[in-house]
Structure 1
Amino acid sequence: MLRSGIVISLHTMRAEGKSIREIARLTGHSRNTVRRYLRGEFFPEIGTRKSRGSKLDPFKPFLQERLQEGIYNCEVLFDLLREKGYTGGRTILKDYVKDFRPPKQVPAVLRYETKPGEYAQVDWGLCDYVDLDGTVRKVPVFVMVLGYSRSTYIEFTKRCDIHSFLRCMIHAFEYFGGIPKVMLTDQMKTVVLGMGDDRKPRWHPLFADFAAAIGLVPKVCKVRRPETKGKVERGVQYVKNNFLPGKRFVDLQDLNQQALHWCERINRRIHGTTGDRPFDRLREEKLSPIPSAERWEKYLHEPRQISRDGFVSYDGVRYGVPWRYSGREGTVREVNGWVEIWVDGTCIARHQKVYRSRATVFCENQYAGLSTAQGYAYPRPQARQISPQQVEVRSLDVYEQLTEVGA
């Protein structure tokens, strides 16, 4: 049988227009042999190369023992072989070990299942959208998932700070109708300021106060162990991949209204893992009852400084207050689409929330009486001129008495 290289040369010469006789004369094969290979009646011989021995052969039994011990690191094996007198290189060793190395393994983990009412998992995500100018911008989204029922709540915000976080948590608890025992989070900077020397988290004081007030136990999942809060990790991706693509919205209020309708829809569909509707399993959660509004009322207030021209900045919008409160400390509370400004326990201004950044909203009669008072909220100490008729007429005895006292 002819080797493949010779058969290829036969076809090459035939393609060049040479006759069978000429090809037979040039190659030294008979015309019948050439004719049959060109017709495809014969197949070329598969070349086999006789294997040669290598410097590694005497050490292969030793290598097999090490491989049985789970040692597949070729650098370690190379050092061990050198101690045994091996004089070969690393390449032949790697080629030999490659056929015995087991496939890369991913360590198995225990599925993180919870009892009803036990856990809630929370996280932030950043989503992309295109604004009216065609610029790609990011908007934060808060996601909370109840561990047992898989009920989900999402809310988009302007900021990822502690005040937005607490406000979203309160809204989520109101949506679910109760509070779980434990809240699981990663080391998000919103609530975890760092880890202490005892490896325990240093919680944001406002968040720690809030958790203690409502009876919530916060816990941090282990570093590089996302499977411990995989439900909310998948929830964030689900929002990015299933809710936001193709969505059209006017402002943040419109986006959150659509998000709330979306939560209602997905919480009423069959969950792929549990086989039940999260809405049905939510009844089995047995969450702790929501406390009275007074217990978390203060956590809905954000401290703000009132400017000299009588404005408070909130979510990129300047809201006006009566000028007499200029320069003072106040708080802002957002409730049901309204922004309230409070000073010393009194609501001094109330505005419908505006979602257009850098907008300015005046309050009614914001500067009434400002010119007369010359910009001061309280009367300044000053003397007063009176008419001659108002001067008190004193007797001379009074002055004589004063003279005697002085003496």
Structure 2
Amino acid sequence: MVLDPQRWLELRRYRGLYESGAISVSEIAKETGLNRRTVRKYLSSQAPVAPPRRAASGHPRKRVVDEVAPLIDAMLRTEIMIKGAVIHERLVQEYGFTGNYQRVKLYLQEARPRIAGELGIACDELAGLHRRFEVIPGAQAQVDWGDEGKILAHVGIPKVYSFHMVLSYSRDPFCCFTTSQDLASFFDCHRQAFAHFGGVPMSIVYDRTKTVVRRHVAPGEAVPLHPEAVAFAGHYDFDIDVLAAYRPTGKGRIERQVDIVRDHVLAGRAFASIEELDSAFMAWVPLRRARTHRTHGEVIGLRAVRDHMALRPLPETPYVVAQRHLRPVGKDCLVAFAGNLYSLPTRKVRPRQLIEVRATKSQVMLHATLTDDDGSTLLAAHPRAVGKGVRVIDEKHWDGLPDGKNRRVTTGYIVPRPRHEAPLGEEARPLQALLTRAAAASIQVGRRPLSVYDELTGTRPFTTAPTKKESS
């Protein structure tokens, strides 16, 4: 195959990067649109080094993109970070451009820095550009969530999430599935990942998730970390690395890993439980480790051996992360948490008293805010309820409270006696008779015409018209 001179020039741009190991054959093939065998042939030492053919005039042949270069420069002067796909789309729709997107992309690599220099924009102000980096074995892992939606809705599980951790040096993956993204579940997945890898990396990269970051702050300010995340990292001896906002390229390894698991583990399959999802991933891991990674060019499993050997050892005792919340005690000696109710011992609490709820993935512990005579704060411990609207009650907690066994109850319907038939007791006093509604209803009240009151007071009725003598 004889390579077109224009593409031959494009390949020459990548030769230095290829020889230094900064870019792979697959990435060059993807950028240029050529076959990997062709790229490898022309970048090898046996590749021809003759200059490209020239036109009859002796000048290099004109590129297709040169016809629209002024238009591209004008778009860049208007918006320096406009995407190449957008530029190509507008050139095709508005100006009838026939070249492909790759030509526009290669031109932008030269034109964007040049236009930025004309506009006085520094190179570090070009958002969206990033530097590729590699790490030493055991130095870093990256973590992210994946939303798998209603994959188990047919068995009554409305939402499923996938937790991912990947070792940055080898790209060795870990994934497990859960029904919650709360604090306890998040760090429980960490413990499973550490057990899977056989150690702990020196640092873990996160985005600004609420289980790691206490609150969001302005750019340049110190990020306040969640206290439980700090305690967990201190126990397992790793550093927390929080990315800047809107910088997904800082953890591109894990972003890619989420899509890989969906394509190779979940796509086209049906599952009936969380355990089946976890088993499917573990069955796929040997296949993944047997592949050669296109970026570092080594077998993932072989590189993972060096990664695992450099990990820090696991501590003897695991750290169990608990959610901590203050909740008031109800008059029924129940505490509400996460849509469920949990009982408390009656003799140790009072209504409206604030207690601390410490919830793990499988247990809910209720603690007093002050210690008792024995120096303990634990009031009760319950298994964590599944779902919402569940009452978890220990009957011993309600010892001493009325149980309602001595109440007069009936299963029939009693016809109430009409009030006007209620008899007035003979011994009832007059004031008591007036206060009793049933007795007051039986008192007979006399009725008189209003003229009687006029005669008694010496006044005339308001309806009587005055005579002439009276008016004079």
Q: C-alpha displacement at 1:285, in angstroms? A: 4.1
Matched, 1:249 2:272: yes
Equivalent residues, number: 285
Q: Give per-residue Cα distances to partners, 1:72-96, cap 9 Å, x unaligned.
A: 437589xxxxxxxxxxxxx9xx859
The equivalent residue for 2:144 is: 123
Give the structure 1 partner of residue 223 of structure 2: 201
Q: Which residue pairs with 2:357 in the alignment?
A: 331
What TM-score do you get using the length of structure 2 for normalisation?
Answer: 0.49
**1:259 deviation in Å?**
4.0
Shift of 1:121: 0.5
Alpha-carbon deviation of 1:333?
4.1
Which secondary structure does the structure 1 equivalent of 2:402 belong to?
Answer: helix
2:363 maps to a residue whose letter is V
| Amino acid across the alignment from 1:370 | L
CA distance in 2, matches of 1:131, 1:284: 33
| Larger relative strand fraction | 1
> CA deviation digits over 1:221-240, x for unaligned, max 9?
45555343222112322444
CA apart distance, 1:161 = 4.0
The AA in structure 2 aligned to 1:173 is F
The letter of the residue matching 2:272 is F
Partner of 1:103: 104
Question: Contact between 1:319 and 1:362, CA under 8 Å: does it hold in 2?
Answer: yes
Counterpart secondary structure, 1:267? helix
For 1:293, the equivalent position in structure 2 comes to: 317
Provide the alpha-carbon RMSD of the alignment: 4.3
Residue identity matched to 1:359: V
Q: 2-side partners of 1:129 and 1:300: how far apart?
A: 27
User: SS of 1:293's equivalent?
Assistant: coil
CA shift digits 1:250-271 (9 cap, x unpaired): 5xxxx1x334433432333324
Q: Distance in 1 between matches of 2:392 and 2:170?
A: 43
Instruction: Provide closer, same or farther for how the CA distance between residues 306 and 100 of structure 1 changes in structure 2, counting only shifts above 3 A.
Output: closer
User: Where do 5+ consecutive residues of structure 1 fail to align?
Assistant: 1-62, 78-90, 373-407
Aligned twin of 2:250: 228
Q: What is the identity, as a one-letter code, of the residue corresponding to 1:261?
A: S
- Over 3 Å counting, the alpha-carbon distance change for 1:331 and 1:76 in structure 2 is closer
Look up the equivalent residue of 2:286 and give its one-letter code: R
Deviations 1:142-177 (A, max 9, x none): 222222343333344444344443343334334433
Aligned AA for 1:249?
Answer: A
- Paired with 1:100 and 1:232, the residues of 2 have a C-alpha distance of 31
Segment drifting more, 106-115 vs 116-125? 106-115
Following the alignment from structure 2 to structure 1, what is the Cα–Cα distance between the partners of residues 100 and 175?
Answer: 49
Residue 114 to residue 247, structure 1, CA distance change in 2 (3 Å): farther
Conservation of the 8 A alpha-carbon contact between 1:310 and 1:325? no
CA contact (8 A) 2:149 2:161 kept: no
Does the 8 A contact of 2:145 with 2:164 survive in 1? yes
SS of corresponding position for 2:256: helix
After superposition, the Cα gap between the structure-2 partners of 1:130 and 1:285, relative to the gap in structure 1 and judged at 3 Å, is: same
Aligned to 1:211: 233
Gaps of 5+ in 2: 1-61, 77-90, 110-128, 369-375, 404-472
TM-score, normalised with respect to structure 1 = 0.55
SS of equivalent residue, structure 2 residue 142? strand
Of 189, 207, 213, the residue aligned with 1:168 is 189
Q: CA deviation at 1:124?
A: 1.7
Cα 1:155/1:322, change in 2 over 3 Å: farther
Instruction: Specify whether residues 157 and 331 from structure 1 end up closer, same or farther in structure 2 by C-alpha distance, changes over 3 A only.
Output: farther
Separation in 1, partners of 2:162, 2:210 = 15
- The residue that corresponds to 2:286 in the other structure is 268
Q: What letter matches 2:346 in structure 1?
A: W
Q: Quick check: 2:342–2:393 contact (8 Å CA) kept in 1? A: yes
- Closer, same or farther: CA 202–317 of 1 in aligned 2, 3 Å: same
Q: How many Å apart are 1:302 and its aligned residue? A: 3.1
Whole-angstrom distance in 2 between the partners of 1:334 and 1:370:
30
SS across alignment from 1:365: helix
Which residue number corresponds to residue 259 of structure 2? Answer: 237
1:389 aligned residue: none
* Contact preservation (8 Å) 1:267, 1:279: no
Q: Determine what percentage of the aligned residue pairs are the same residue.
A: 24
1:53 matched to which residue of 2?
A: none
Report deviation, 1:122. 0.6
SS in 1 for 2:104: coil
- Match of 1:366, SS? helix
Query: Where does residue 355 of structure 1 map in the other structure?
Result: 386
Query: What is residue 72 of structure 2 aligned with on the other side?
Result: 73
The aligned amino acid for 1:73 is I
Distance 1:157 1:312 in 2: 26
Deviation at 1:182, TM superposition (A): 1.1
Q: Is the 8 A contact 1:306 1:325 kept in 2?
A: no
- Aligned residues of 2:137 and 2:307 also touching (Cα < 8 A): no
